[in-house]
């Protein structure tokens, strides 16, 4: 088969050449960044230069970048680490506030703390576009601010692409001295992300969503914030994260972040234009397709549709057979596809939630990708509908 | 042809998929997610449908070089198979969920979806043979491996379903299938065969039913009565835990007067009584079957199937009994020329003519031989 039409950049996006170069340049060199000899110092230098590169791109201090194995670890470290340290300082802080549309890497640690560690989880509602209800969040905090351990609100949703009013969240929480974490895994490189200006206390990032390698990420966390460690060992990263650092991956990650931030505006404009074309064409060939998410506050590369009368799974398979790759966007929990919690939180019923597909564009997307999808989708929708009948 | 290969994660369905692909079909591997809450790992040889099984199926598809997807049929499976299983036991009968799964899921829900999505057929790892008559009508036959033959659980497939089915293993002994799996580099080659009922993970039917039926059980206990003397021999924990012909697990505690083992003769869900007696009382000479299914053109009511090679099989891996079958409007009346023992209503009577499967019906009544 010819090269697939890749419309799943939110799942992972191809590495940019600068990241491949940076990563491969270090693969043949030995050196543990914790070693004291020349090889160790060289490895350490690569890590620290990478940290500085990322800090500069995100407008944070180098010491605020904690390297992790990826976005999921960063989310876990933020949620559990903040909860434990905040509760250790004052045992009444047991409330966890989050949107109902967080990624599972945030939601699952929250649920785990509620089930196993006496936390009280409050998921704040979103509207039908997936935007957080700020009044509901404020009301929830103000009911008893002293008992809130943390607030976590994703910068942008991974399924429907809706961006959240993170700076407003910070305003509300900061008034009560409550720390805010944001999962910015999907946002970085797609929209402007400035750590200092945002006011958040902790922010999760992932390497492979921005054109870097898989298996590396970071939690950017303000120096003043204390975190309880999840993994204990050598204490390599600020004593909150242990484990020998993956030097080539960190170098690749930093190179990708640098490119993603430098080219963000230009890339977003190009990708958004392609995406708008995709949406317009989709409406032409499948008039009853419903665009999900917020049309205004939205990631540039995201086009998420419901196809009434279709199973998303069937559509995905039919498109895949034609070399077009996309996602149902739903979490595949325990091997059985579940209806998306994001769409359910936005007020869709289970059937509606199962009828959706996510197309996400990125730095390698072209007009030809959109054309291929537009040509294939009509017959696929017809087929998938017949399979439901 | 474009073929969906149902891949359970076991060795048979993996080799069946590989053979279909090798035969030149455009094959897509599908693992059916049938459990609403799949366990992570299979335990021993029991059960299936764990995440580990799904992964085994995926790895087999990788090796064969075919696309692979998971289809979630857990709701359909629950409604059509699990609920039927519970209701049948609650009514004092003995279900065959594998047969129901073939009838309602694999060759109905899956086949219909596959056809609608543009596929032509469903391939499975069942041991049975399909032969096309000169006029193109498909016939379902027993597999060449007598020990593995699964035509019994396929006896519910009608002509249309057979036309869209592939059973690539029907002409091969199981041992050769394992060797072939190893030769093809399929890691499931030495995976143990699955036994029992896939959704009863630990094989404890009565315990599973006790938990799942709960309030819906007709009773959670009653008397075990000697059918001849009327004497109460003991108590049991629910009629749903019994099958006609069962000997083990009665826990009567004391031997019969004549010292011979006792068997379940009758299950009365309303009164909660389980009647027991000696083996010869289980002998059955005629059977009534309902909900007939014909694996080909349906014979007219009134037809008598009385050829020299006509037999019936009354349970999975059970014996063949020579029989004369009278086709009725809504079922069949089966006269057994060789008496059978311990026939449980709810099971299927599958009618054969030689190796060919003619059709099947659900046993609703069995007439015992006159006590001698």
> Are A330 and A206 part of one and the same domain?
no
Closest chain A residue to the Cα of B32, Cα to Cα: A336
Q: Per the CB < 8 Å rule, is B67 touching A387?
A: no
DSSP type of residue A298 = B
pLDDT of residue A335: 53
Q: What is the residue-averaged pLDDT of chain A? A: 95
Task: Indicate whether A332 pLDDT > 70.
Answer: no
Distance CA B228, CA A377 (A): 71
pLDDT higher than 90, residue B28? yes
Query: Do A24 and A47 share a structural domain?
Result: yes
Residues of B in contact with A384 (CB under 8 A): 117
**pLDDT (average), residues B242-271:** 86
* pLDDT, position B162: 96
Q: What pLDDT, on the 0 to 100 scale, is given for residue B46?
A: 44
Query: Per residue in B336-366, pLDDT tens?
Result: 998 899 899 999 999 999 999 999 999 998 8
DSSP summary character for residue B239: G
Condensed to tens digits (0 to 9), the pLDDT of residues B124-150 reads 999 999 999 999 899 999 999 999 999
Q: What is the pLDDT of residue B132?
A: 92
Mean pLDDT of B231-238: 91
ipTM reported for the complex, 2 dp: 0.87
Q: Is the pLDDT of residue B321 over 90?
A: yes
Kindly report the nearest CA distance between residue A382 and chain B, in angstroms: 9
Residues A292 and A246 in one domain: no
Q: Which of B28, B33, B113 sits opposite A336 (nearest CB)?
A: B33
- State the smallest CA–CA distance between residue B113 and chain A in angstroms: 5
Residue B258: is its pLDDT beyond 80? no
Instruction: Give the mean model confidence (pLDDT) for residues B26-40.
Output: 84
Domain count, chain A: 2
pLDDT at B279 over 70: yes
Task: Give the one of B38, B112, B113 whose C-beta lies nearest to A334's C-beta.
Answer: B38
Q: Which long-range contacts (CB under 8 A, 24 or more apart) does B126-129 make?
A: B126/B12, B126/B102, B126/B150, B126/B153, B126/B154, B126/B167, B126/B169, B126/B170, B127/B12, B127/B151, B127/B167, B127/B169, B127/B170, B127/B174, B128/B154, B128/B167, B128/B170, B128/B357, B129/B167, B129/B170, B129/B171, B129/B355
Range A279-302 average pLDDT: 97
Q: Taking residues B300-310, what's their average pLDDT? A: 95
Query: Taking residues A99-113, what's their average pLDDT?
Result: 97
Predicted confidence band of residue A388 (pLDDT cuts 50, 70, 90): confident
Rounded mean pLDDT of A273-295? 97
For residues A255 and A292, membership in a common domain is answered with: no
Tell me which of A244 and B342 has the higher pLDDT: A244
Q: Please compute the mean of the pLDDT values over residues A139-146 and round it to a whole number.
A: 97
Q: What is the pLDDT of residue A198?
A: 97
Claim to verify: residue A60 and residue A120 sit in the same structural domain = yes
Distance of CA B23 to the CA centre of its chain: 28
Mean of pLDDT values over A172-196: 98
Strands B273-277 and B263-268: antiparallel
Identify the band that residue A330 occupies on the pLDDT scale cut at 50, 70 and 90.
low
Percent of residues, chain B, with pLDDT higher than 90: 74
Pick among B111, B113, B199 to test the A interface (most A CBs inside 10 A)? B113
Q: Evaluate if residue A109 carries a pLDDT over 90.
A: yes
Expressed as residue numbers, the domain containing A344 is 5-13+264-388
pLDDT of residue A227: 95
Residues A174 and A125 in one domain: yes
Q: What average pLDDT does the segment B311-318 reach?
A: 93
Both A88 and A142 in one domain: the answer is yes
C-alpha span between B286 and B324 (Å, rounded): 10
Q: What is the DSSP string of A171-235?
A: HHHHTTT--EEEE-TTTBTTB---HHHH--SEEEEESTTTTS-TT-EEEEE-TT-----SS-SS-
Instruction: Output the domain CATH number for residue A304.
Output: 3.90.1150.10
- What is the pLDDT averaged over residues B157-183? 95
Residues A227, A187: one domain?
yes
User: Do A32 and A119 belong to one domain?
Assistant: yes
Give yes or no for a contact between B342 and B92, defined as CB atoms under 8 angstroms apart. Answer: no
Average pLDDT over residues B270-288: 93
Yes or no: say if A75 and A183 are a contact pair by the CB < 8 Å rule: yes
Separation between Cα atoms, residue A153 and residue A169, nearest integer Å: 8
Query: At which of A262, A280, A300 does a domain end?
Result: A262
More confident residue, B47 or B203: B203
In this structure, of A161-175, A227-241, A247-261, A331-345, the range with the lowest mean pLDDT score is A331-345
Which residues in chain B have Cβ-Cβ distances shorter than 8 Å to A332? 70
Please report the residues numbered 283 through 342 in chain A whose beta carbons come closer than 8 angstroms to any beta carbon of chain B: 313-314, 317-318, 320-321, 332, 334-337
Which of A225-239, B26-40, B279-293 shows the lowest mean pLDDT across its residues? B26-40
Angstrom CA distances, A276 to A268, A327, A381, stand at 12, 19, 20
What pLDDT does B192 receive? 81
Query: B200 pLDDT band (50/70/90 cuts)?
Result: confident
Residue where a domain stops, chosen among A227, A262, A297:
A262
pLDDT at A120: 98
Q: Is the pLDDT of residue B263 over 90?
A: yes
Residues of A whose CB is below 8 A from B112: 387
For residue B249, the model assigns a pLDDT of 81
Which of A332, A334, A383 is facing B116, going by the closest CB pair?
Answer: A383
- Regarding whether A163 and A48 lie in a shared domain, the answer is yes
pLDDT tens across B86-126, in order? 999 999 999 999 999 999 999 999 999 999 999 999 999 99
Q: Catalytic residue numbers of B?
A: 101, 198
Give B182→chain A minimum CA distance, Å: 26
**Could you tell me if A174 and A285 lie in one domain?**
no
Residue B251: pLDDT band (50, 70, 90) is: confident
- Residue B44: the pLDDT is 47
pLDDT at B38: 65
The separation between the first and the last C-alpha atoms of chain B, rounded to the nearest angstrom, is 58
Q: For residues A327 and B43, what is the distance between their CA atoms, to the nearest angstrom?
A: 32
Answer whether A43's CB lies under 8 Å from A35's CB. Answer: yes
CA distance, residue A129 to nearest chain B CA (Å): 28
pLDDT beyond 80 at B369: no
Q: What pLDDT does residue B372 have?
A: 45
The Cα A381–Cα A155 span in angstroms is 32
Q: Of all residues in chain B, what percent carry a pLDDT higher than 70?
A: 95
One domain for residues A225 and A112: yes
The predicted model gives B160-183 an average pLDDT of: 95
Q: Which residues of A touch B28 (CB under 8 A)?
A: 317, 321
Q: In the predicted model, what is the mean pLDDT of residues A39-67? A: 97
Task: Give the C-alpha separation, A181 to B141, whole Å.
Answer: 64
What token pair was written down for A221?
A: 């966390």
Q: Which of B51, B116, B117 faces A335 most closely, judged by CB atoms?
A: B51
Q: Which of A262, A296, A331 is the last residue of a domain?
A: A262
A310 as an active site residue: the answer is no
Is the pLDDT at B47 greater than 60? The verdict is: no
Question: What is the CATH number for A111?
Answer: 3.40.640.10
């Amino acid at each position: 088969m010819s090269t697939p039409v890749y419309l799943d950049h939110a799942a992972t996006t191809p590495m940019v050449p600068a990241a491949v170069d940076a990563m491969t340049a270090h693969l043949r060199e030995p050196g543990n960044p914790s070693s004291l000899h020349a090889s160790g110092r060289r490895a350490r230098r690569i890590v620290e230069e990478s940290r500085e590169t990322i800090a500069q791109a995100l407008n944070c201090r180098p010491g605020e970048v904690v390297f992790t194995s990826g976005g999921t670890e960063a989310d876990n470290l933020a949620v559990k680490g903040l909860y434990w340290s905040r509760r250790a300082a004052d045992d009444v802080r047991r409330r966890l506030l989050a949107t109902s549309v967080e990624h599972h890497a945030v939601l699952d640690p929250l649920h785990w703390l509620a089930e196993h560690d006496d936390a009280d989880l409050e998921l704040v509602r979103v509207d039908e576009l997936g935007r957080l209800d700020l009044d509901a969040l404020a009301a929830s905090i103000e009911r008893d601010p002293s008992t809130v351990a943390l607030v976590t609100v994703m910068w942008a949703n991974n399924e429907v692409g809706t961006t959240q009013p993170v700076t407003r969240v910070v305003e509300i929480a900061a008034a009560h001295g409550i720390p805010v974490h944001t999962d910015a895994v999907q946002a970085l490189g797609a929209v402007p992300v400035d750590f200092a200006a945002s006011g958040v206390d902790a922010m999760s990032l992932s390497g492979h969503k921005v054109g870097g390698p898989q298996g590396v990420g970071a939690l950017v966390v303000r120096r003043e914030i204390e975190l309880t460690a999840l993994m204990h060992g050598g204490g390599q990263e600020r004593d909150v994260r242990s484990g020998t650092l993956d030097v080539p991956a960190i170098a690749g990650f930093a190179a990708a972040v640098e490119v993603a931030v430098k080219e963000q505006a230009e890339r977003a404009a190009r990708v958004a234009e392609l995406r708008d074309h995709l949406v317009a064409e989709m409406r032409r060939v499948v008039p009853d397709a419903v665009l999900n998410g917020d049309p205004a506050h939205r990631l540039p590369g995201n086009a998420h549709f419901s196809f009434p009368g279709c199973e998303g799974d069937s559509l995905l398979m039919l498109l895949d057979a034609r070399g077009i790759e996309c996602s149902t966007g739903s979490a595949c929990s325990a091997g059985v596809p579940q209806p998306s919690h994001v769409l359910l939180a936005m007020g869709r019923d289970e059937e509606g939630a199962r009828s959706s597909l996510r197309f996400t564009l990125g730095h390698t997307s072209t007009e030809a990708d959109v054309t291929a999808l537009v040509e294939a989708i009509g017959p696929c929708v017809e087929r998938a509908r017949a399979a439901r009948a | 042809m474009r073929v969906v290969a149902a891949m359970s994660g076991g060795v048979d369905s993996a080799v069946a998929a590989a053979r279909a692909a090798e035969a030149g079909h455009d094959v897509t591997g599908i693992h059916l997610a049938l459990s609403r809450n799949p366990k992570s790992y299979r335990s021993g040889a029991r059960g299936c449908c764990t995440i580990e099984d799904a992964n085994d199926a995926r790895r087999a598809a990788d090796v064969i070089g075919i696309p692979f997807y998971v289809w979630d049929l857990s709701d359909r499976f629950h409604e059509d198979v699990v609920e039927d299983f519970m209701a049948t036991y609650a009514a004092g009968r003995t279900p065959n969920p594998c047969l129901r799964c073939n009838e309602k899921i694999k060759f109905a829900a899956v086949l219909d979806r596959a056809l609608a999505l543009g596929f032509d057929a469903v391939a499975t790892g069942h041991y049975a043979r399909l032969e096309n008559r000169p006029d193109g009508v498909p016939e379902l036959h027993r597999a060449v491996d007598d020990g593995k033959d699964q035509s019994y659980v396929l006896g519910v497939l009608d002509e249309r379903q057979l036309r869209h089915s592939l059973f690539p293993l029907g002409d091969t002994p199981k041992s050769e299938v394992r060797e072939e799996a190893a030769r093809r580099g399929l890691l499931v080659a030495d995976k143990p065969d699955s036994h029992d009922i896939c959704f009863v993970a630990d094989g404890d039917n009565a315990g599973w039913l006790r938990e799942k039926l709960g309030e819906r059980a007709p009773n959670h206990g009653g008397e075990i009565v000697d059918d001849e003397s009327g004497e109460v021999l003991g108590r049991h924990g629910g009629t749903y835990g019994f099958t006609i012909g069962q000997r083990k697990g009665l826990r009567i505690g004391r031997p019969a007067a004549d010292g011979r083992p006792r068997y379940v003769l009758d299950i009365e869900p309303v009164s909660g009584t389980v009647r027991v007696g000696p083996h010869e009382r289980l002998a059955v000479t005629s059977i009534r079957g309902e909900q007939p299914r014909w694996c080909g053109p349906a014979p007219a009511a009134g037809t008598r199937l009385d050829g020299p090679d006509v037999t019936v099989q009354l349970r999975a891996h059970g014996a063949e009994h020579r029989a004369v079958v009278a086709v009725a409007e809504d079922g069949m009346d089966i006269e057994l020329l060789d008496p059978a023992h311990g026939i449980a209503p709810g099971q299927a009577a599958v009618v054969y003519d030689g190796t060919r499967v003619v059709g099947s019906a659900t046993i609703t009544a069995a007439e015992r031989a006159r006590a001698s």
